[in-house]
Amino acid sequence: AFWSVAVAFALGRMAVAVLAAHLVPLLSERGYSRTLTATIAGAIGVLQLVGRVFFTGLTSSSTLIWLSSATFAVHGLGVLALALGGNAGIWVFLVLYGTTNGAITLTRAALLAELFPPSVYGRVNGAVSLSVAVSSASMPFVAGVLHTYSGNYDLTLWLLTAALAVSSLVILGARASSAR
């Protein structure tokens, strides 16, 4: 269960870290106005609150493993919408990415509490935090290198979409591991 959670959240955090650092130049490169770029970047924060409320409401009707998997999958669909581009894509990105960005924070805390006893929660959370921190610190740099060599953000967005798809599947392994 630990490795499933650590890998899934490290992969999932890649999109958050990369887009926090590169969203403004990415949208500018694609021809969006500064006003729209600022609106999109700011609205992500507002939608995080919506995502947290929505996620909390769903915890009574679904397992945390499935909610975590779905959260990563929808997060990936948001990045996919950004990768596909267009005016509709930017708004789909905003709604899907913004709401799930808020839910991911709650997902990790609740899932760790469900999978691990209180006696090891702090150690497990610290170790998962380490994997997330390494991903958060390194991936914006990697995205910058990819941009330099490819000349655009397309490859980065496709890789982030793939990472979120993998995280959505990997987190399901936590259920199998915790059942043993």
Give the pLDDT confidence of 65-95 residue by residue, as tens digits: 999 999 999 999 999 999 998 899 999 999 9
- The pTM of this model reads 0.90
Rounded CA-CA distance 67/2 in Å is: 17
Q: Report whether 20 contacts 79 (CB < 8 A).
A: no
- Tens digits of residue pLDDT in 96-144: 999 999 888 888 888 999 899 999 999 999 999 999 999 999 999 999 9
